[in-house]
Amino acid sequence: MTSPWIDDLAHPLVLASASPRRTWILSQLGIPHTVDPAHIDETSDISNPRDLVVDLALRKALEVSRRRPGELVLGSDTVVYLSGRVLGKPRDPEEARRMLSDLSGKEHTVWTGVHLAMDGRPMEGRAVPATVRFRSLSAREIHAYVDSGDPLDKAGAYGIQGAGMGLVDSIDGDFYSVAGLPVTATLELLCAWSVRPIQAKDPS
């Protein structure tokens, strides 16, 4: 499939993530890529969510790029930010239930960072926020969603796609950033590496 947005990358693209949502987004954009998940320690002393997701995305991209010479590596990371707290992936079902109870009926910010690397060198990165509001959830709903297993590998204990869409009242910002890969930011980063970036034609 040929992308209508980017015409041939100058280097093969590698997605440093096992997330099926991220590879699906790239595929829908028509951007050919391979998947090679990074395996890093995601603990960090960074408390600012914008800086945190960019740092984690960069560390993932660098880890994979060191073993993929000559290839362009895209790293990405997502966190949920609620009342001054960063919510990552829950450690167990009980923590998932606590996270969802805290999010119930409230607004929070989802931050997703994307970063490129090549040959073990950092390139450019971005961080994209989106504001999400949860509807008020009953204890039964929270338990049923956690019991489905869906929240356990996702930041903030939910995914915007699949059954998790039933948690959300509204989104202000890039839907795909909440899903794990902001479309505009990703295209802007990759266009710099395109042989011939697609440009709007002059109407004159």
What is the per-residue DSSP string for 33-97? -EE---------S---HHHHHHHHHHHHHHHHHTTSTT-EEEEEEEEEEETTEEE---SSHHHHH
Cβ contacts of residue 67 below 8 Å, gap of 6+? 36
* Rg (the chain; Cα; Å): 18
Residue 39 burial (CB count, 10 A): 10
Active site residues: 77
**What is the distance of C-alpha 195 from the center of its chain?**
25
Q: Measured on CA atoms in the order 37, 38, 42, 45, is the torsion positive or negative?
A: negative
Work out whether strand 121-134 and strand 168-173 pair parallel, antiparallel, or are unpaired: antiparallel
Question: Alpha-carbon torsion 100, 105, 106, 109, what sign?
Answer: positive
